[in-house]
Amino acid sequence: QQLRSPWPYPAVVAHRGGGAMAPENTLAGFRAGIAYGYRAAECDVKLSADNVCFLLHDDTVDRTCNGQGLAATLEMASLAQLDAGAWKGAAFAGEPLPTFANVAAYCRAQGMLLNVEIKPCPGREDETGRLVAQEAARLWAGAAVPPLLSSFSAEALRAAQHAEQALPRAWLVEEVPANWQAMLQEMDCIALHCDHRSLTRAQAAAIKAAGYQLLCYTVNDPERAREIMAWGVDSVCTDRLDLLAPAC
């Protein structure tokens, strides 16, 4: 397989914005990433009830915000009132849930590359893939390096593929399945992203031999990062910005 573009992402990517250094999926996280010298981050994007793309990992706001409820039932105006920082410490109190547009503007201004994980609320896979891809194409129009779209949901990735074919895509898996190559081909992905705990050296070699890029999450031990990079892993996603140097 011929890649459409060389892998532009650095060897270490900050997980959920700023890893464990700041509240996940907030602009405070991205600011922490910049402070640690990171040039790329991953974040989770889903739809509000009124179809605004915004950053949140879970299906509900309960764990990371001072509110309760399913994200799919809350409109962006309500989501924007929530405090998404206080759970991480008083220093972050008042930090809002950012929209995807907020984050795109910040990343483009800072020269930060972004891996956008499409994280649909259950039942909203198709519309989330489509709307996140369309918004990404609009927000990064003219950019030298487009955001890399990834998802555990094949349905969301296919919707992104049909909506904005030119945006690069990666399939996320917990374990590399037997049909990984057929799936990457069918969804026209450039990369596989997998949990490092399940990856074997032989799988890494096969994925690289087939011409795909390989990213592992969530690698918090510098020794483990070095080990799997020696297997051919291109990039790792980490929470420990304080332990993994951005140029690791």
Q: Which residues are catalytic?
A: 15, 57
- Binders of ligand G3P in range 223-242 (CB under 6 A): 237
Q: Which residues bind Mg ion (CB under 5 A)?
A: 44, 117
Alpha helical stretches, state H, the chain: 27-35, 76-79, 100-110, 125-139, 154-163, 180-186, 201-209, 222-230
Query: Which two structure tokens, joined as six digits, stand for 135?
Result: 């918004």
Whether 53 contacts 131, CB under 8 Å:
yes
Residue 239 binds which of Mg ion, ligand G3P, none (CB < 5-8 A, kind-dependent)? none
Q: b or e along 44-53 (b: 16 or more beta carbons within 10 Å of the residue's beta carbon)? A: bbbbbbeebb
User: Which residue lies nearer to ligand G3P by CB, 78 or 187?
Assistant: 187
User: CA-based angle 156:157:163, to the nearest 5?
Assistant: 90
String of DSSP letters for 36-53: TT--EEEEEEEE-TT--E
CB of 77 to ligand G3P, least distance (A): 26
CB of 41 to Mg ion, least distance (A): 10
CB of 46 to Mg ion, least distance (A): 11
Which has the closest alpha carbon to 45: 156, 196, 185, 195? 156
User: Which residue lies nearer to ligand G3P by CB, 150 or 161?
Assistant: 150
User: Which residue lies nearer to Mg ion by CB, 63 or 201?
Assistant: 63
d(CA 207, CA 196): 14
Single out the residue of 9, 12, 18, 42 in contact with ligand G3P (rule: CB under 6 A): 42
- Binders of ligand G3P in range 161-220 (CB under 6 A): 172, 193, 217
CB of 185 to ligand G3P, least distance (A): 21
Residue 237 binds which of Mg ion, ligand G3P, none (CB < 5-8 A, kind-dependent)? ligand G3P
Whether 239 contacts 20, CB under 8 Å:
yes
Single out the residue of 17, 23, 30, 44 in contact with ligand G3P (rule: CB under 6 A): 44
In the complex, which residues of this chain contact ligand G3P (CB under 6 A)? 15, 42, 44, 57, 117, 150, 172, 193, 217, 237
